[in-house]
A and B are shown apart, each in its own frame.
Chain A
Amino acid sequence: AQSVAQPEDQVNVAEGNPLTVKCTYSVSGNPYLFWYVQYPNRGLQFLLKYITGDNLVKGSYGFEAEFNKSQTSFHLKKPSALVSDSALYFCAVRVSRGGTYKYIFGTGTRLKVLA
């Protein structure tokens, strides 16, 4: 079955330190991978995507993600965390069936950036 896994329920990091939120995937064929962020009482917001090309993709709010095919990973990173980055982060994969697509989300990782 095609899926994504986020092994950490929560990640704590001090403000100004680099952060990493982990994601691994299991898909057949070339993966279309995404990161979404959810702030309290809001829907999910698109952060970035990997479709093809450069393994390091840049997204909104200074976030980037590194695609690693050999490790089937797509970890989210930011060089210097802000308190305002505290939110729930979801990794997702797009899968196709019969010509249409759906997005499968991981279980989410809560990021807490401490002042």
Chain B
Amino acid sequence: EPEVTQTPSHQVTQMGQEVILRCVPISNHLYFYWYRQILGQKVEFLVSFYNNEISEKSEIFDDQFSVERPDGSNFTLKIRSTKLEDSAMYFCASILSQGREKLFFGSGTQLSVL
């Protein structure tokens, strides 16, 4: 089965530093998402992305966050100035079209902000 790939698997950073989390969605998928999971439990929606623009974002996704699809394959999440509370597992997901229902998730990037 096709896979969503995320790198790195772990990222440790100092508070106030910028991080970029990378995702390669499944090649023919058109809709992309970032979710985060805190303490291995609740999965929270951050942002959805289609046609090179944000479709929807949550209240968590403030001005410190941004997403882009720079080259038609990678899908990145940037946190401009990390805070301690940004420590979480970040998951990228993609779906072929809105008529399909099966979200494909990557294995996640564990972000630790010290």
A41 adjacent to chain B (CB < 8 Å): yes
B48 touches A102 (CB 8 A): yes
Determine the main DSSP class of A at the interface with B.
Answer: strand
By beta carbon, the residue of chain B nearest A94 is B101
B59-85 CB mask vs A (1 if < 8 Å, else 0) is 000000000000000000000000000
**Cβ-closest chain B residue relative to A42:** B107
Q: Tell me, yes or no, whether B103 is within 8 Å of chain A by CB.
A: yes
Contact A101 B102 (CB under 8 A): no
The size of the chain A interface, using a CB distance under 8 A, is 25
Asked whether any CB of chain B lies closer than 8 Å to the CB of A100, the reply is: yes
Which listed residue, A45, A102, A107, touches B56 by the CB 8 Å rule?
A102
- B60 shortest CB reach to chain A, Å: 13
State whether B40 touches A88 (Cβ < 8 A): yes
A100:B41 contact, CB within 8 angstroms? no
Nearest 7 A/B pairs, CB to CB: A43-B105, A100-B55, A105-B43, A44-B105, A46-B102, A43-B107, A107-B42
Residues of chain B at the chain A interface (Cβ within 8 Å): 4, 31, 33, 35, 40-45, 48, 50, 55-56, 91, 93, 98, 101-108
